[in-house]
Amino acid sequence: MSTVERHLKLLRIWMPLGVVFLIVDQYLKSLAVDSLKTQQIFFGKSFFSATLELHENAGSFLSLGAQFSESMRNVVFVVGVSIILMVITAIWYRGIEKRRLQSIMLFLILLGGIGNLIDRIINSGRVIDYIVLRFFSLHTGVFNFADVAITVGVIGLLLESWISKSVR
């Protein structure tokens, strides 16, 4: 079996997973928009809790860049992110057979990035965020399912890199 045939076989596995992820991501964001416009949903204990609340984020992580003009946000968050996602796709595709853990982590980052890019395209440059976690007095910024995939992917890549360096 040639490399191209092996890659196509693997893509037949990866692509449906990606489509399911993107459908779930967009569904959760749609549900947040429909359900959280006028209310917040709180659950948990006093030391650890989660709140579901609707935020339309014009920026990136922790709203960085939200103060940019609309045209600058489009350049940075649509064009720039699209270019970065294409680079990640190329790296992911090249390593799809060789480094499974790295491929999974890159795929998570890619899917999270695509999910948030879809948001920016269909929501006038904004990403729908809806989850806040609290631990005692500490709390996260508002995030979404796609952000979780990106975070898990980045942490996984860092751990994989650290472990592979310590094994050498």
CA pair distance 90, 84, nearest whole angstrom: 10
**Cα-based distances in Å from 150 to 42, 67, 105, 154:** 24, 23, 8, 6
Q: Can you say whether residue 7 is alpha, beta or left, with left for phi > 0 and alpha for psi between -120 and 50 degrees?
A: alpha
Residue 135, helix vs strand vs coil: strand
> Which residues belong to the active site?
129, 147
- First-to-final CA distance of the chain: 32
Concatenating the DSSP letter of every residue in 82-108 gives: HHHHHHHHHHHHHHTTT-HHHHHHHHH
